[in-house]
Amino acid sequence: MTDSELLKKPLKVVLLQIKAGFDKTKNLQNAASFLEKAMNQYPDADLAVLPECFNSPYSVSEFANYAENIPNGESTQFLSSLAKKHEVMLVGGTIPELGDDSKIYNTSVTFNREGEIIGKFRKIHLFDIDIPGGITFKESITLTGGDELITLNLPGFGSMGEGICYDARFPELAAISARKGCFGMVYPGAFNTVTGPLHWHLLAKARAVDNQMFVIFCSPSRDTDFSYHAYGHSLVVDPNGKILAEAQEGDEIVYAELDPEVLVRTRASIPVTTQRRFDVYTDVAK
């Protein structure tokens, strides 16, 4: 696969940085309202992205109360109808999923323009941290980590890899996706006001520059009425590590265009993708 085939034409992306409360119905309607607004503002958008836990509070004690089946649950069916209505590809942020094994996962579902599921990804690395004087959070109290990488094949454009929030700290996911020919990575994520200022921009740029690919981070907006304060700052980064577009902390729609020529020029000028020494170190994609 040549660089020009990685992204076949410019991809127009909208990120919906919104908040979620305790009322699932209101959360879904809020997502619908913002997508409607985004598509009215950017009618030629190809891909829309929602944030992590857009239909529920980001809370260990609440995940089980909002968990639902995929593909038959309310949120999945609702997202499918939105993608079909607006004829847009949609990365449905994440929702708490009740698996057939009765375990709960933090799961992202992606849809094509017809509302059909083209990808389902379960967060692999669970957010279990303890920063003295900062934040303590342990997703594993409620959630189970996924065990499968996926590639999102976007009809007419090419392929993207996906991770969720804490997955961005583990470079292997992006590296594997890049080796498989993906032009970018998308991460619905909810960094907080402790970890966000430290590493949000740094990680987005690192994943982009390491693999010479586009990177999308989509966060919830900040709501100080809840105990978990999302950082916000949803953004799109190009293969050179340049931020193409970025939100602040409130409700916001972010628009960016991913230009395939930028990817081609970046890889031609600094050809790390062809200079890797797999005779010296292991190719994580194999």
97, 139, 162, 165: which one is catalytic? 165
19, 24, 120, 123: which one is catalytic? 123
123 labelled catalytic: yes
Q: How far apart are CA 32 and CA 82, in angstroms?
A: 7
19, 24, 52, 252: which one is catalytic? 52
DSSP-H helix ranges across 126-219? 172-179, 195-211
8 labelled catalytic: no
Q: How far apart are CA 92 and CA 76, in angstroms?
A: 8
Burial code (b: 16+ CB inside 10 Å, e: under 16) for 238-269 equals bbebebbbbbebebbbbebbbbbebbbebbee
Q: How far apart are CA 192 and CA 65, in angstroms?
A: 22
Q: Would you say 129 and 137 are in contact if contact means Cβ atoms under 8 Å apart?
A: yes
Q: How far apart are CA 201 and CA 25, in angstroms?
A: 32
162 labelled catalytic: no
Q: How far apart are CA 168 and CA 78, in angstroms?
A: 27
Give the residue numbers marked as catalytic.
Answer: 52, 123, 165
